[in-house]
Amino acid sequence: MPDSKASNDTRERILDVAERLFMQHGYEATSMRSITGAAEVNLAAVNYHFGSKEALLREVFRRRLAWLNQQRLQALDRLEEAAGGAPLKPSQILEAFFGTLLRMGEEPSLGGMTFLRLLGRTLTEPAEFIRTFFAGEYAEVIDRYKLALFRALPDVPQAEIVWRLHFMLGAMSYAIAGTDVLQVVTGCEVGDLAGEAAAEELGDTALARRLAQRLMPFLLGGLRAPLPRFEESPITRAASAGGLPTEV
Amino acid sequence: MPDSKASNDTRERILDVAERLFMQHGYEATSMRSITGAAEVNLAAVNYHFGSKEALLREVFRRRLAWLNQQRLQALDRLEEAAGGAPLKPSQILEAFFGTLLRMGEEPSLGGMTFLRLLGRTLTEPAEFIRTFFAGEYAEVIDRYKLALFRALPDVPQAEIVWRLHFMLGAMSYAIAGTDVLQVVTGCEVGDLAGEAAAEELGDTALARRLAQRLMPFLLGGLRAPLPRFEESPITRAASAGGLPTEV
DNA sequence: GTCTATATGTGGATAGAC
DNA sequence: GTCTATCCACATATAGAC
């Protein structure tokens, strides 16, 4: 394990630069040369410290996701302990899951919006090694939160909850990616139209907080929406009778 | 313009294959060689017919989006004509916008799920020429639908509507991309857990229909969710007083 | 319109001196 | 741990014969 001298510094600088460049241009379009160049380290340093470009990407995510996973599990632990065996409220679960992530956007030492954008953009990358990596990193947390939602919404078919978790992940992923066509069409960041003063000069920190404020109600509204009627599948009609509880 | 002989056939074969390979591996990771190889045409054919790899991607989208844009505008025209000057219902607007797209997934001649997945995955690509292209393609339609939503929800701040349109686009984009970590973690497509028989053997057509049935209520629920309270920005508190109408 | 051959550049990775 | 130099596979694009 490399540790002496400034090697630690080199490692960190590579990770920081790679995080930014992968975010800006995507994995495939970012070359090792551009990374080592911007980080002002030698071209061979990446392979020495990480082994390969793929391994570098994994490490860029690992150092952030390790913290995020831990926080998400702890947040759920605390909620469940405080509830003393009773099911949690959906709003609490969403706050623990999405709020924990979105708060990373306000904290530069955790990667800030750079990491959030990178995460949102990378989650839709088709490369096999990326999909496999995320599956492993997310497995435990997703499973815990899925079960918490099952308990919180006992009258909703579990398949429906999984679908909606899927949709919520999508809304969040796309929102933090910040590549929306709306932004390009309107020529401004979402939120500039708010009539709020100096919105165009919002720092990343304020942007992250605002995003969270806007996104959480949307997600909760989607999660609690009435169930679909399944016009094409009469078999399942019975299972979806009734609606979701309106009080959460 | 090339038109005689089998040139039209060559063009179409290239477009079909490029659509599939760009979807499977992404733009950067798909080489011209792999496209021309799979299409069984000469390597130089792409540059002859389209000019460049970038132009090829644009043409792959243009032939589908031309149809989609037309349908979306016509759908809105019909609704507005039938309403005779009255504001539309949000559910009608969402159905026209998202339903039109999702129905493409059921029709192989319109690209089917291959095109939908490609669209969802490409919308988050950071490449400048892609963002620019989509901005141009989407501008008119987005603008029309945005205005329709403004009219449909006169009590909701317009900035809030733009945010939620953004979130809805994200949920849909991510859902049709089909790269969700949930699918990898659970080792199955979303919907397999439904307890519905033979769900794992669903064709793309059935999958598209099911996706639409699940997604539309979620989007509508999110769009109609109560407004956030803006804890950090007391200035805007007055503007967000009250909630959304509960009847749509 | 189609093909071969090739120009020209860039990619990731590594060997071996220091 | 860092650096130089280099290997070699593969990329897009094009020139020019057919």
pLDDT at residue A187, rounded to an integer: 53
Is B247 a member of any domain? no
Q: Which of A19, A117, A106 is nearest to A63 (CA)?
A: A19
Residue A201 CB closer than 7 angstroms to strand D? Answer: no
Count of CB pairs separated by less than 8 Å, A with B: 239
Instruction: Specify whether A131 is located in the same domain as A9.
Output: no
Q: Are A174 and B120 contacting, i.e. CB atoms less than 8 angstroms apart?
A: no
Task: Give B-chain residues touching A239 at CB under 8 angstroms.
Answer: 195
pTM of this prediction exceeds 0.75: yes
Instruction: Specify whether B98 is located in the same domain as B122.
Output: yes
Instruction: Specify whether B15 is located in the same domain as B132.
Output: no
Model pLDDT for residues B82-122, shown as the tens digit of each residue = 999 999 999 999 999 999 999 999 999 999 999 999 999 99
Q: Which of A205, A145, A108, A234 is nearest to B185 (CA)?
A: A145
Residue in B124, B220, B224 nearest the CB of A177: B124
Model pLDDT for residues B129-186, shown as the tens digit of each residue = 999 999 999 999 999 999 999 999 999 999 999 999 999 999 999 999 998 887 766 6
Cα of A11 to nearest chain B Cα, Å: 26
Instruction: Specify whether B28 is located in the same domain as B67.
Output: no
What HEC string does A112-161 produce?
A: HHHHHHHHHHHCCCCCHHHHHHHHHHHHHHHHHHHHHHHHHCCCCCHHHH
Q: Can you count the helices (H) and strands (E) in chain A?
A: 11, 0
Is B245 a member of any domain? no
Q: Are A123 and B173 contacting, i.e. CB atoms less than 8 angstroms apart?
A: no
Structure tokens at A194: 């708010």
State the Cα–Cα distance between residues A201 and B85, nearest whole angstrom: 39
Residue in A132, A181, A236 nearest the CB of B123: A181
Residues 100-159 of A with CB under 7 A from strand C: none
Structure tokens at B176: 């049709």
State the Cα–Cα distance between residues A34 and A23, nearest whole angstrom: 13
Instruction: Specify whether A45 is located in the same domain as A147.
Output: no
Instruction: Specify whether B122 is located in the same domain as B185.
Output: yes
Interface of B with A in 189-228 (CB under 8 A): 190-191, 193-197, 209-210, 213-228
Report the CATH number that the domain containing residue B67 is assigned in CATH: 1.10.357.10
Q: Are A228 and A243 contacting, i.e. CB atoms less than 8 angstroms apart?
A: no
Q: Cα-flanking dihedrals φ and ψ of residue A26, to 5°?
A: 85, 165
Is B236 a member of any domain? no
**CB pair distance less than 8 Å for B228 and A216:** yes
- End-to-end CA, chain A: 50
What HEC string does chain B produce?
A: CCCCCCHHHHHHHHHHHHHHHHHHHCCCCCCHHHHHHHHCCCCCHHHHHCCCHHHHHHHHHHHHHHHHHHHHHHHHHHHHHHHCCCCCCHHHHHHHHHHHHHHHCCCHHHCHHHHHHHHHHHCCCCCHHHHHHHHHHHHHHHHHHHHHHHHHCCCCCHHHHHHHHHHHHHHHHHHHHCCCHHHHHCCCCCCHHHCCCCHHHCCHHHHHHHHHHHHHHHHHHHHCCCCCCCCCCHHHCHHHCCCCCCCC
Is B235 a member of any domain? no
Write down how long chain B is.
Answer: 248
Instruction: Specify whether B15 is located in the same domain as B104.
Output: no
Instruction: Specify whether A138 is located in the same domain as A195.
Output: yes
Q: Is A31 left (phi over 0), alpha (psi -120 to 50) or beta?
A: beta
User: Does B235 reach chain A within 8 Å, measured CB to CB?
Assistant: yes
Res. B5: pLDDT tops 90: no
Instruction: Specify whether B13 is located in the same domain as B68.
Output: no
Residue in A142, A171, A182 nearest the CB of B171: A171
Residue A7 CB closer than 7 angstroms to strand D? Answer: yes
Distance B119 CA to C2 C1' (A): 32
Residues 14-43 of B with CB under 7 A from strand C: 41-43
Is B237 a member of any domain? no
Q: Are B73 and B141 contacting, i.e. CB atoms less than 8 angstroms apart?
A: yes
Residue A183's domain comprises 60-223
Res. B66: pLDDT tops 90: yes
State the Cα–Cα distance between residues A211 and A244, nearest whole angstrom: 26
| Residue B189 identity | E
Is A242 a member of any domain? no
Instruction: Specify whether A177 is located in the same domain as A70.
Output: yes
Domain boundary among B51, B69, B90: B51
Report the CATH number that the domain containing residue B24 is assigned in CATH: 1.10.10.60
Task: Give A-chain residues touching B121 at CB under 8 angstroms.
Answer: 124, 126
Interface of A with B in 36-65 (CB under 8 A): none
Exposed, middle or buried by CB within 10 Å (0-12, 13-18, 19+), for B79? Answer: middle
Q: Are B105 and B116 contacting, i.e. CB atoms less than 8 angstroms apart?
A: yes
Model pLDDT for residues A214-246, shown as the tens digit of each residue = 999 999 999 999 998 865 554 544 444 444 554
Interface of B with A in 113-172 (CB under 8 A): 120-121, 123-127, 131-132, 134-135, 138-139, 142-143, 157-160, 162-172
Is A215 a member of any domain? yes
Instruction: Specify whether A42 is located in the same domain as A81.
Output: no
Q: Are B191 and B210 contacting, i.e. CB atoms less than 8 angstroms apart?
A: yes
Is A248 a member of any domain? no
- Our CA angle for B46, B50, B53, nearest 5°, is 65
Instruction: Specify whether B164 is located in the same domain as B215.
Output: yes
pLDDT tens digits for chain A (248 residues)? 444 456 689 999 999 999 999 999 999 999 999 999 999 999 999 999 999 999 999 999 999 999 999 999 999 999 999 999 999 999 999 999 999 999 999 999 999 999 999 999 999 999 999 999 999 999 999 999 999 999 999 999 999 999 999 999 999 999 999 988 877 666 555 555 544 545 555 788 899 999 999 999 999 999 999 998 865 554 544 444 444 554 44
Count: domains in chain B: 2
| Residue A243 identity | G
